[in-house]
């Protein structure tokens, strides 16, 4: 079991259990002698984002909104060319959480493909996993916040508008501050 497997397991549980579960699974993995398999050779720094190259559009976004690229380490676990979300929402309002998940999903996709876009159904599934899905208001919530998105014509590729990117920058700052 490597860190990305542990994170996949942890992300399937509600936010309130994730920290404890992560601690238990990591401790168990370390106690069972998997330290080298988990973290690689001891000489390699753990914080390193390996050989991952941040796409130019993501770099431009971070420069445009005066964000430090090190914030990515608080939002995503990146190993080789794999990106896994590790962020935790701070809001308790489902409508706000659904939009934040969409924005952060667009950032995750931008790290993988260079495009700030997300899939409507994928975000719905993530909302269900995080227990913030509101079936009665999900669609209307996106329509109400349509200024954050360029178009809803292709539900598999909903791109962020300039307002959406500005709100994403605010969400990043909100969830990464201590």
Tens-digit pLDDT profile for residues 83-132: 999 999 998 899 999 999 999 999 999 999 999 999 999 999 999 999 99
Q: Which of 71, 61, 104, 69 is closest to 176 using CA atoms?
A: 71
pTM of the model: 0.72
Mean pLDDT of 128-151: 94
Task: Give me the mean pLDDT over the 36-50 stretch.
Answer: 47
- Under 8 Å CB-to-CB from 54, ≥6 apart: which residues? 69, 72, 111
pLDDT confidence of residue 50: 59
Domains and CATH numbers, the chain: 1-46 (no CATH), 47-176 (1.10.10)
Pair 176, 89: CB distance under 8 Å: no
CA distance 90 to 97: 8
What kind and span of H or E run contains 104? helix 94-113
Pairwise CA distance, residues 122 & 128, whole Å? 10
């Amino acid at each position: 079991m490597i860190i990305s497997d542990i994170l996949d397991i942890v992300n399937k549980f509600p936010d309130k259990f994730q920290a404890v579960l992560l601690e238990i699974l990591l401790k168990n993995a370390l106690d069972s002698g998997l330290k080298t398999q988990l973290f690689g050779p001891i000489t390699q720094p753990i914080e390193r984002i390996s050989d991952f190259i941040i796409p130019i559009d993501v770099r431009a976004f971070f420069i445009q909104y005066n964000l430090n690229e090190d914030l990515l380490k608080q939002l995503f676990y990146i190993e080789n060319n794999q990106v896994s979300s590790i962020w935790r929402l701070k809001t308790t309002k489902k409508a706000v959480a659904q939009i934040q998940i969409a924005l952060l999903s667009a950032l995750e996709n931008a790290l993988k493909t260079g495009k700030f876009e997300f899939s409507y159904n994928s975000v719905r599934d993530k909302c269900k996993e995080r227990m913030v899905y509101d079936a009665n208001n999900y669609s209307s919530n996106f329509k109400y916040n349509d200024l954050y998105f360029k178009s809803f014509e292709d539900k598999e590729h909903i791109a962020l508008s300039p307002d959406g990117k500005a709100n994403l920058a605010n969400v990043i700052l909100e969830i990464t501050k201590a």
